[in-house]
Amino acid sequence: MSQSNKNNFIKMDKMLAELPWYVEEYIDHKSRRLSSTSLLNYVHDLKIFFTWLNDELLQEHPKIIALENLEKLTIRQVESYLKFLVHQLGNKDVTVNRKLSSLKSLFNYLQNTAETEDLKPYIQRNVMAKIEFNDLKNDQETIANKMEGKILQGKEYSEFRLFIAHDYGELHKDNKKKYNFHVQNRERDTAIISLILGSGLRLSEIANLDITDIDFNKSTLRVIRKGNKEQYVYFSTQAMSDLQAYMALRETKYHVDKKNKALFISAAMGPRGTNRRLTPRAIEKLVEKYAMGFGKPALSVHKLRHSFATKYHLEVNDVPKLRKQLGHSSVQTTMIYTHLKDTDLKEAVEKMDIPEE
């Protein structure tokens, strides 16, 4: 188990200790299909709800909230909670929907999956089934306006990569510490950015990659997607070139123990000089650093993923292939995925390498 997963489970155990027993049972049920990050998000959302409900019921502790209390919840009370998320916590509609989705999932489990010893459901009445999600529909023009200026476009793809590989160091030549740090890590950092822009991988997927996950012959990466689903994702030729350049220097530059299979390594830290897998937060910070220097501070790992998707759609114009490449899943697109051919998907990704005129 990776250190990131261990940390997630430690945080979960701490929060679950403050929640009712049936929440822990529900999370245990979900654990067979979800990653530790997704489980942690569920627990976090449920803790917010039960803390609010505890205050609403004037009880001493969320842990003692009984199933009967959930069964007696009214629609007005649930709507009051959703207003609390908006007005007190400042949550946007999309965040409110996510937290409502967590509650719907819990209540569905209590009503339709869990059983008492006499084979009866934990709750008979499910108020969450009566609550609708916020309508998040936006027209394409609105979405485009929000995204404009926050992603890479046109020649910026190659320019941003070049900035990381070379120009950032030149920009900070007078700062010995920054310059030396960049020289030490430029191949690694270029490979990370190039891989996101050449595959559209998520932050967690990039951070969790092992060197054994790469197949240079097939231009594929083995990734564990949301829901612990294994998938082989294609990456571009430019990403391959940058990965190979980094891999050639990985052991000598970072003095990596051969037992350490993590693809992206941090510089040695601590008295023993231990190398560790680069954490998701560390990857976020390096993207933020380069984005600021490049003059597009709104760039993030997620925006780089958006950049890949935008360019892919403009050049390939095949939404089903794009959905599979990004690892998106929904009831509406499940059947589309089953008709995709891997050879077509590989050719689509390769088109990403056509140079800008």
- For residue range 54-74, list pLDDT tens digits in order: 999 888 899 999 999 999 999
Q: How many whole angstroms separate alpha carbon 199 and alpha carbon 104?
A: 33
Would you state the pLDDT for residue 352?
Answer: 61
Q: Are 165 and 183 in contact (CB under 8 A)?
A: no
Would you state the pLDDT for residue 262?
Answer: 92
Catalytic residues: 202, 226, 302, 305, 328, 337
Phi-psi region of 331 (alpha: psi -120 to 50; beta: other; left: phi over 0): alpha
Phi-psi region of 248 (alpha: psi -120 to 50; beta: other; left: phi over 0): alpha
Render the burial of 307-343: b for 16+ CB within 10 Å, e for the rest. Answer: bbbbbbeeebebeebbbbbbbeeeeeeeeeeeebeee
Render the burial of 118-140: b for 16+ CB within 10 Å, e for the rest. Answer: eeebbbeebbbeebeeeeeeeee
Structure tokens at 299: 């760039």
Phi-psi region of 106 (alpha: psi -120 to 50; beta: other; left: phi over 0): alpha
pLDDT less than 70: residues of the chain: 1-2, 136-149, 269-273, 312-314, 316-320, 322, 325, 327-357
| pTM for this predicted structure | 0.57
Structure tokens at 172: 């900070």
Tokens 């991988």 correspond to what residue? 201
Would you state the pLDDT for residue 318?
Answer: 63
Would you state the pLDDT for residue 135?
Answer: 77
- Measure Cα distances from 125 to 22, 54, 67, 79, 130 in Å: 16, 20, 11, 17, 10
Q: Are 264 and 277 in contact (CB under 8 A)?
A: yes
Domain ranges of the chain: 3-137, 144-353
What CATH number has the domain spanning 144-353? Answer: 1.10.443.10
